[in-house]
Amino acid sequence: MAIRVHTSMTLDGFSADTNGWPVLLHMPEFRSGVSYGHEEFFAQCTAVIMGRRTFEPALGASDWPWPGKKVFVLSTGQVDVPADQDVTVCATVADVLAALPAGDAQLLGGPSTIAAFHQAGAVDRFEIVLLPLLMGKGMPLFPLGDDTRPLSFDEQVVYPDGTIKLCYDVAIRQFSSASTATE
């Protein structure tokens, strides 16, 4: 099992705008359906992990966004879960890790959930889609802190629009079960 992040980030480090919407939607030439490798990535995962603020807006989608995947929501608050979907709400990173099925899991977000898993040492791989865009404000993908972790470069993919996918494996995974997130 590996916990893998595949997300977009602006050149100045933001993964969401001030309203919580993914920065990818702000690309001047954004076209729905351009995946920057997300579809292939998603097919390799058996589970999806996210916080409540990422999960709840998706409930309004006409189609369930995660078909065939076990969904985990990291939250210490009340979360309304559709009865017809395989969703588990967990209060801590340790609870999520204990309940994950075999296979890789996509750590979808938002930023505070990614930070909780990263700070707990539970992320195995980062696949960052670096967008040729400066936002100036928004939600940073990585909060400022003193948590230094070495990464090992794996690959890069350059797209015609100037977007670059950078893939790194976490060199040393150091899980600590003391973390929670309140997303």
Average pLDDT for 83-94: 95
How does DSSP classify residue 22?
Answer: B
pLDDT the model gives residue 174: 60
3-state DSSP assignment of residue 11: coil
Residue 177 resides in a domain: no
Among the listed ranges 17-31, 81-95, 158-172, which one has the minimum average pLDDT value? 17-31
Query: Residue 145 belongs to a domain with what CATH number?
Result: 3.40.430.10
What does the pLDDT read at residue 175? 58
Asked, for residue 130, whether it belongs to a domain, the answer is yes
Which amino acid belongs to residue 46?
A: T
Report the pLDDT value the prediction gives residue 98, as an integer from 0 to 100: 96
Higher per-residue confidence, 104 vs 143: 104
The pLDDT of residue 112 is 87
Answer yes or no: is 95 within a domain: yes
Whether the per-residue pLDDT at 88 is higher than 80: the answer is yes
Domains contained in the chain, number: 1
Instruction: Give the number of other CB atoms < 10 A from CB of residue 163.
Output: 19
pLDDT bucket at 24, cuts 50 / 70 / 90:
confident
The confidence band for 181, taking pLDDT boundaries of 50, 70 and 90, is very low
Summarize pLDDT for 54-76 with one digit per residue, the tens: 899 888 888 899 999 999 999 99
Share of the chain above pLDDT 70, in %: 90
In a domain, 179, yes or no: no
From 54, 141, 41, select the one nearest 89 (Cα to Cα): 54
Q: Is the dihedral of CA 85, 112, 3, 63 positive or negative?
A: positive
Using one digit for the tens of pLDDT, what is the confidence trace for 146-164?
677 789 999 999 988 889 9
- DSSP codes of every residue in 112-175: HHHHHHHHTT---EEEEEEES---SSSEESS-SSS----EEEEEEEE-TTS-EEEEEEESS---
In a domain, 182, yes or no: no
pLDDT higher at 120 or 37: 120
Inside any domain, residue 181: no
Residue 175 lies in a domain: no
Mean predicted confidence (pLDDT) in 18-42: 77
Is 61 domain-assigned? yes
Residue 31 has a pLDDT of 61
Q: Which of 120, 107, 113, 112 is nearest to 147 (CA)?
A: 120
d(CA 54, CA 74): 10
Judged by average pLDDT, the poorest of 30-44, 99-113, 135-149 is 30-44
Query: Residue 105 is part of which domain span?
Result: 3-170
Residue pair 139/111 in contact (Cβ under 8 Å)? The answer is: yes
- Which structure tokens are listed for 166? 């950078």
Q: Are 122 and 95 in contact (CB under 8 A)?
A: no
